[in-house]
Amino acid sequence: MSGRAGFAHARSVRWLLPVAVAGAVIGTTLLAPAVAASVDLPDKTAEQLLTDLQGADVTAVQGTVVVDADLGLPSLPSVAGPHGSGLGVADLLDGTTTLRVWASHDGLRVAALGSLGETDVVTDGTQLWVWSSDDSTVTHVVPPTDAELAAARDALAAAHPGATGEDTPSVLDGAAATDPRAALANLTPDQLSTLVLAALEPTTQVTTGPATRVAGRPAYQLVLTPTDPGTLIASVTIAIDAAERVPTQLTVTSTVTGEPALTVGYTSVSFTAPDPSVFTFTPPAGATVTEPDLLSGAGKSGAGTGAGTGEDPASRATPQVVGEGWASVLVLSGSATDLAGAEAQAADSADPTLSALLTAMPQVSGDWGSGRLLTTNLLSVLLTDDGRTIVGAVDRATLEVAASSTR
Amino acid sequence: MSAVELEPTAEAGPARTARAAGAFGRLFRSELWLIFGRRRNWVGGLILASVPVLIAVVIKTSGAGEGDSFVFGQITDNGLFVALAALTVELPFFLPIAVSAIAGDAVAGEANLGTLRYLLVTPVDRARLLAVKLGGIAVFTFAAVAVVAGVGALIGLALFGAGDFVTLSGSSLGFWAGLARLALVCCYLTICLVALGAIGLFVSTMTEQPIAAGITVLVVTVVSQILDQLSQLAAIHRFLPTHYWLDYAAVLRDPVNLGDLGPGVASAAAYTAVFAAAAWARFSTADVSS
């Protein structure tokens, strides 16, 4: 009797080994990130972090960036790329995209990794290559020479005497009124940080978050919380590498879900210069190479969709900003293509995502007219039937107010 | 109850080790003979090898299709891609069938034929017998992958020649560098599939029906691949045995980052360790009556 009992005991004891191995594996996968996440950094104020950002001295970077988007787009029929390598637009907007990034003085390369597919953008500063493995196509862009640019500018000036270069509005407009650049150049990093905080003050609460780890490296967190009602952005969190003082992760949290709707950050990063050879590209044999002519608008491949859409700045939609701060709304009116045209064009085009998206957008109407509405966790888009496109990180009501006011 | 003796008789240290090593070698050779001497396994190998031949002949006669994926599209430029295309096509189902059949047969097959008890009477340490069985599964898995890749490479080179080896990143490698990448893909897939073999070895110790064991493993493979497709289950995807299989694409990028294979290798090693240990726990105390 005792012998049998002993045998049964030996039997059950032996099962401890596989259980222990499984436990060790699961334990390391689940607990290791939690243990690694604990960081001990001296406290810093938001102002100190902003000053740190200006003191960053990073000239090169290489690493892996993961874009994790949960925009809550309306669910679409299968919109994976035609070859299913997971590099479609839809994956970038709703899903996880892995990018590999190299950057230094010598150039820039970004590779979007799909399963058995890859899209690369490569530039060494003098030319730009875009490679797509799914259809083995290469787009080669060489910037026009100065002479070509001057000729094009003259031609444009002759055609549209009124057209001039656009002024890009500075974030710090008003803070340094007269000559912003000269005034900013004389500021110390500390003063600039104070200035930035003061400029953000009316619309944004700037705080620090708990120290964290990004790509295994200790990082501080700067949290921007919009105080404007109407915006869909609950907060923007920027992780700043403690050692190199550069942002390594950006998280945008939505008021709709209360969860991060967009996270862009390094999962592994090194601040050493990559081998310059990664910035060169030679189209492989058998690839289709197109070289778009930047000055005439349409590419040599004939992919351009006809007259008037790309080449003539004056006929383009004039953007108009309604509202302030985080709740500001961009209104593109007088768009060349009306909604019906856009739908027809999308149905024609090879991109199934766009046409599926357009038909999935519900019809809405109000005192501003009628159109199609797209609401996501971060962004709302209203395409009115009279050809206006109204976009903002705001809720539907704010968009409709903007639609009424710009009618 | 006819449980056979669990431990060989005690002997002096070094002599015993040497004898054990010799016995292990003999046992391993006989296991390989068992696997590679079977006609049905040769038929299985022929079926595996027919896929690259089919791919190569079809593409040679009708050309690459418009919507073909990168790997298929490259075949006409470089014959080595026939091997990669065949591996990609056979990875979800054909290769797992081969591995499940062999792994399911490992212990249950012997029990079914009634040879297991004779094997254990010799006497052979049961842990050692399991190690031999797992080793045999690993060798067979590599052979299966190598047959697909080898036949694919040979017929591809014969029909399409050896042009530049274009990576997923659009760079062009020479012939030997391309061949080395193909070999790396084979090694990675072998490691992934051996994990499946370890699951099969465990199931094989639970039953005397080799077919049942093989089908169980195949079901595990298919269910794992289905679960991997459901985005609602994203949280458990990294724990699925098949989740990292397609990561072999990392080998086809340039510059190559072998660290991308790390999770797949770690997952396969974990599955192999857990299920080999479970097979040992089950088999070392099992009543063997047939």
Three-class DSSP labels, chain A = CHHHHHHHHHHHHHCHHHHHHHHHHHHHHHHHHHHHHCCCCCCCCHHHHHHHHHCCCCCCEEEEEEEEEECCCCCCCCCCCCCCCCCCHHHHHEEEEEEEEEEECCEEEEEEEECCEEEEEEECCCCEEEEECCCCEEEEECCCCHHHHHHHHHHHHHHCCCCCCCCCCCCCCCCCCCCHHHHHHCCCHHHHHHHHHHHHCCCEEEEEEEEEEECCEEEEEEEEEECCCCECEEEEEEEEECCCCCEEEEEEEECCCCCEEEEEEEEEEECCCCCHHHHCCCCCCCCEEECCCCCCCCCCCCCCCCCCCCCCHHHCCEEEEECCHHHCEEEEECCCCCHHHHHHHHHHCCCHHHHHHHHHCCEEEECCEEEEEEECCCCEEEEECCCCEEEECECHHHHHHHHHHCC
* pLDDT mean across residues, chain A: 79
- What's the rounded mean pLDDT across residues A292-303? 55
**pLDDT attached to residue A334:** 59
Inspect the interface and report whether the beta carbons of A133 and B249 lie closer than 8 Å: no
pLDDT beyond 70 at A297: no
Inspect the interface and report whether the beta carbons of B249 and A282 lie closer than 8 Å: no
pLDDT beyond 60 at A302: no
- Which of A97-106, B229-238, B243-252 is least confident? B229-238
Domain layout of chain B by residue ranges: 16-283
Task: Please give the ipTM for the structure prediction.
Answer: 0.82
For A204, phi then psi, to 5°, come to -140, 140
Select the residue of B171, B239, B285 nearest A10 (Cβ to Cβ).
B285
Percent of chain B with pLDDT over 90: 63
Q: CA A177 to CA B171: how far, in whole Å?
A: 51
Contacts of B76 in chain A (CB under 8 A): 286
**Residue B284, CA distances (Å) to A16, B2, B120, B128, B136 in order:** 13, 14, 11, 10, 19
Inspect the interface and report whether the beta carbons of A29 and B238 lie closer than 8 Å: yes
The answer to whether residue A85 neighbours chain B at the CB level (below 8 Å) is yes
pLDDT beyond 80 at A32: no
**pLDDT attached to residue A180:** 60
pLDDT beyond 60 at A335: no
Write the pLDDT tens digit of every residue in B159-207: 999 888 999 999 999 999 999 999 999 999 999 999 999 999 999 999 8
**pLDDT attached to residue B110:** 83
pLDDT beyond 70 at A303: no
**pLDDT attached to residue B218:** 95
Full set of structural domains in chain A with CATH: 47-144+171-270 (2.50.20.10), 316-405 (no CATH)
- What's the rounded mean pLDDT across residues A273-282? 92
With a CB-CB cutoff of 8 Å, which residues 71-100 of chain B face chain A?
71, 73-74, 76-77, 88
- Which of A242-251, A316-325, A345-354, B98-107 is least confident? A345-354
pLDDT beyond 90 at B251: yes
The answer to whether residue B225 neighbours chain A at the CB level (below 8 Å) is no
Contacts of A14 in chain B (CB under 8 A): 280-281, 284-285
Contacts of A95 in chain B (CB under 8 A): 231
Q: CA B13 to CA B18: how far, in whole Å?
A: 9
Write the pLDDT tens digit of every residue in A12-30: 788 889 999 999 988 888 8
Inspect the interface and report whether the beta carbons of A116 and B88 lie closer than 8 Å: yes
Tally Cβ neighbours within 10 Å of residue A363.
9
More confident residue, A221 or A368: A221
Q: CA A355 to CA A353: how far, in whole Å?
A: 6
Encoding tokens for residue A10?
């030996």
- Report residue A406's pLDDT band, with 50, 70 and 90 as the boundaries: confident
Write the pLDDT tens digit of every residue in A60-96: 999 999 998 888 776 655 444 444 455 666 666 777 8
Encoding tokens for residue A381?
């888009």
